[in-house]
Amino acid sequence: MKISFLLHNAYGIGGTITTTFNLARAMAERHQVEIVSVLRHREHPSLTPDPRIGLRALVDLRTDKGHPLHRRPARVFPSAEYRYQQYSELTDQRIAECLEAIDADVVIGTRPGLNVHIALQAPRRVIRVGQEHLTLDNHPPRLRAGLRRVYRHLDVITTVTEADAAAYRRKMRLPGVRVEALPNSVPDPVLPAADGTAKVVIAAGRLVPVKRYDLLIEAFAQVAAAFPDWQLRIYGKGQEQDRLRQLVEKLGLWNNVFLMGPAAPMEAEWVKASIGAATSDFEPFGMTIVEAMRCGLPVVSTDCPYGPGEIIKGGVDGRLVPVGDRDALGAALLELVGDDERRRRMGRAALENARRFAPGPVVTQAERLLREAVSTRSTGQRTAPAPGPAHGVLISQGHAARDIAHAAAVDALRLLRRGRR
């Protein structure tokens, strides 16, 4: 198969970019794969793509920023979408031209606004897949209402957790569209796993309020008081950096807590630790949790919606604590810090249990999903929303029904355009 990923900006950094590159790299083992970046702002991407993967951009902000059409608001990309201000009539035009000429068997959108373009503009001969990297409930009501009208023209929707797939099936009610959870994958580590002897706890991610690194620092004060030779290292950058530094100074933890800045790749840092930590109020998946576990670290995490509870087996390969509970978080960290054998046993379990997020199993699931979608299309049928992760009901759809669906897509596009005027 030839598979095209439509990505917001492949030249930046972020979880969606990383997971798209990971999946594309794994699928390039057996398929022809390209990444189409809507935007480009620099010469080379921050992440190095596999040489087997094609990479092209539609709008180069270094030269197209002053284009007259780029000064006009987008009319297809939904205005309620988080990235709307970065889109324009120029991106509308370039995306439409790209999809009209696309020679792929499958085109995969990686955010709601791009899924809308694919649903309305990709040729009917192409399998249209919309990926959800956040969660349905994370989107504003106006966007959810618009997606409900347009997503019926997709063939497949993938979410990163079973919980979010269930929410899509229950709330969106999209006849003929298959909804299935497809977790993010993490490449196989190249360094030896952590051995559990380092007196270091690590957390990584954007320094933003939802990650609750303030809670982690306050909880770690309990660890530092009982085990002053242990360290907490927080990797990342963001708006909370100054506030977190002030908190470290206020608590007198300058010898125990360190804001390390961003690091890529993180694998070399994970293996220097013995425990991973994640303290978010909300986490669509939990990529850093998987990264830490794949390096042999048990992870102490808040049991927030949606991802951590589907990744960590509490008491086996990590610990789950209530959201926002500083004392419970501190107690869980102390439990692992103070028990060498338990920490190492959980680290071994984490290494083993996280293998399900290796590229192999995830790609096998993705290939099955795409093959079934291609087969369904070739027989003139579509797959209804699945009652479970891998089951569906076939609905007959002849030429007349396909024409009706196409007309409905055109009407939906007109409605979206009318809403921009």
**Three-class SS of residue 63?**
helix
pLDDT, position 369: 94
Question: Looking at residue 376, what is its pLDDT?
Answer: 83
| Three-class secondary structure of residue 41 per DSSP | coil
The domain 200-357: what is its CATH number?
Answer: 3.40.50.2000
Pairing status of strand 275-278 against strand 200-204:
parallel
Per residue, the 3-state secondary structure of 289-347, as one string, reads HHHHHHCCCCEEEECCCECHHHHCCECCCEEEECCCCHHHHHHHHHHHHCCHHHHHHHH
Which part of the chain is CATH 3.40.50.2000?
2-185+360-418, 200-357
In angstroms, how far is the first alpha carbon of the chain from the final one? 39
Instruction: Using DSSP bridges, classify how beta strands 394-396 and 381-383 pair: parallel, antiparallel or unpaired.
Output: antiparallel
CA angle 369, 374, 379 (to 5 degrees): 125
Q: Which amino acid is residue 332, in one-letter code?
A: A
pLDDT at 264: 81
Residues 295-333: pLDDT tens digits? 999 999 999 999 999 999 999 999 999 999 999 999 999
pTM: 0.84
Which residues of the chain register pLDDT less than 70?
380-421
User: What's the CATH code, domain 2-185+360-418?
Assistant: 3.40.50.2000
